[in-house]
Chain A
């Protein structure tokens, strides 16, 4: 068995930033394991611009953004293996992986960072009734075909779900010569960023129908028509509102699911809300020395936040490798309430945390003129007004070590939304 101080599972934006950060914090022995043929993860197929406004103060494409982090990995001579699949991780941090050249091999790691990213919800998981012809793709699959292989998956399409990839692909398919008939969204609001709705749909005259879903797929061999209908508050189709589109393609952009099969095999506790690991302020899971960051932890809206989070995970993993863990540290739970769906992290150890800690979360609905309120036990600590909050965009609260130090007896932290 080989030994590494740190094994990072996944060479996408999270894995790359985590590796750079761990090296800069003094860890020499690092291995990134990437299943694809190049570093960068899903960014490599995101050839549109808009990445890196926060990190680099300029607008980059996905591959450009990935390349900047990959360059930092190369500069630091951090070891990585491509075309290599991690098959298993156990709670002793033995990582089993496989590729063509090395066969199946095991690595004993002192710490592991989970950075496997997420996958798209499939037609099957959505349980859309109808036939099962060719021509039904997740938006990401279509994106790979068009952007990386140069193949068009269809000529005329309906898109279900207004997640960002779906919006991006509505524009992309149009630019490549296809006709996008409509984007239907089950919820009364979009799951994507506002700027994507404007730039990808409005600018191309593609209608967005909120509170609509697909109720039938026709075509035995290839999609021939898609019927959508309006849904009521119970999200059930309303009879009489059906609209039928003749088309050859259905793209699905109905949510992303963190890919945590490996985490589960290691015994990592997962949150039923995020489908990602439950972590503390170090982004460490319930298994000592196993950390998580990026979309495997919770689905992010902007890659900049992934990079920030991964930098934190890399630094904390380095600290764990060098100094171990203070098992005695008091842990305070963060309670998401009143429209806050979850928080990452879920717990915080005031004695161990950095001077500041960014707590990220998403909200359950569209909230206008609300404030994000933080309570230490029953005492209101901060109240920040937000004109609009929506489920498609992440929100955050920053906690400081100094403030927490004033509350040594603190039992619970609550983050909630209140009318402003």
Chain B
């Protein structure tokens, strides 16, 4: 198959680039090894849109973070992404040098982050009564925000799909080689020929780059472990609470999520195994004492799940974005660690412009700029909800009792563009199974719905593709 652009990776970066390119008249595809979009780093991170004060001025991280943050107000409306500017604080405790806050404030100014200022303890406590007793001051960034990373990725991907980008899921890139047309991408399924390759392969982006370029990259998987707390704990803090980096490390954050939970993490450990998304006792145990440095009485007993994500850390420290010097037509979006999610819209724009120029692409007239997300009936009045149920009774049938998710929302998740085919796919789209019972009650019911609607056999239903099946047979027949 011949393409103008083939994007490797359907995480938030690949999807943002795909959406940007779908504004043009271009034959573009996204190749993803997993069964769904948003299955790697994009699904397991802090779910933060950073204000942009952290990165060193002049770096791509600084520039694209601030730009990405700016873009989110409009994007969240256009693409119906759950997004909230809750503000962020970087807190300094009495044992730390407050000069660190001044340095951050200077960086904020240099990076063009608006309205940052340093607050004293009294002002802070009025905002955040649960800050630790040791907190003496903090940098306040009102543009700091939280987002649903699943919906952000899916919004980009669905919108790209609706504008003509093809998605090849369950397709694992095995090798990239130079070819007459540009590049040949060999996968476990078909072979793709393309003029331009976009390498948005997360922790594997070094391997693909190194197959075609002599400017070698080295990506280290830096594991971050998190604990997600029950919605009862969601109001423990209002803003995202970061810690002033110290010799002991960057610290952990305590933040509400857009869905109303409380998130604590991440730890940081460089690991060898790029598939190593297991959590460890040691690091989970460390989250209590670490979070207590900035926020007191974090109700860790209300944990509902823990998870680990891998940051794609490039050894030189900055994002690697752009055409490889010695491999024309091979564009990297590599080393996308924090603030990668925040920068994703800007990375899409930045690379999209580059590729459009390279291929002399023309904007298409019928680009559909908006996408409607899965309806959240929580936001409806009782009258509106009843009208909805009358039209589609499935919205009256609650499947996930913890998150109060109806069958209507699950049907939407399955039947929309790039719809869910697994329990995790349903979960990321609707939150069914993401609540306090962690799918104990709803998984058999969600499986029935998947089996009926896709349709598929019960023993074909997976948690997240591959061999992750739930059912091994029928009674007395395994």
Contact = CB atoms under 8 A, between A and B. Distances in A.
B440 A155 contact: no
Interface string A261-288: 1001000000000000000000000000
- The A interface is mostly helix, strand or loop, or mixed, namely mixed
Tier of interface size on chain A? 35 or more
B438 interface: yes
A99 interface: yes
Given A124-B305, A127-B303, A221-B468, A87 B404 contact: yes
A248 interface: yes
A102 B478 CA distance: 42
Interface in A6-56: 35
A324 interface: no
Contacts of A146: 475
A195 B437 CA distance: 28
Contacts of B471: 145, 151-153
Interface residues of B, number: 55
B382 to A, nearest CB: 5
B399 to A, nearest CB: 9
A104 B389 CA distance: 8
A101 interface: yes
Given A124-B438, A138-B440, A177 B476 contact: yes
A215 B281 contact: yes
Contacts, number: 147
B115 interface: no
A146 B281 CA distance: 32
Given A122-B304, A134-B462, A222-B467, A152 B396 contact: no
Contacts of A129: 278-281, 284, 306
Given A98-B396, A152-B472, A155-B478, A127 B306 contact: yes
Given A122-B440, A145-B471, A153-B471, A103 B390 contact: yes
Interface in B367-415: 382, 385-386, 389-390, 393-394, 396-398, 401-402, 404
A125 interface: yes
B278 A130 contact: yes
Given A103-B386, A103-B390, A127-B303, A119 B441 contact: yes
A151 B470 CA distance: 9
B197 interface: no
Contacts of A145: 444, 471
Given A85-B398, A134-B469, A221-B464, 17 more contacts: A35-B398, A87-B404, A100-B394, A101-B393, A103-B389, A104-B386, A106-B382, A122-B440, A124-B228, A127-B227, A132-B307, A141-B443, A151-B459, A176-B475, A176-B478, A177-B478, A221-B463
Interface of A: 35, 83, 85, 87, 98-104, 106, 119-120, 122-125, 127, 129-135, 137-138, 140-141, 144-146, 148-155, 176-178, 215-217, 220-222, 237, 248, 261, 264
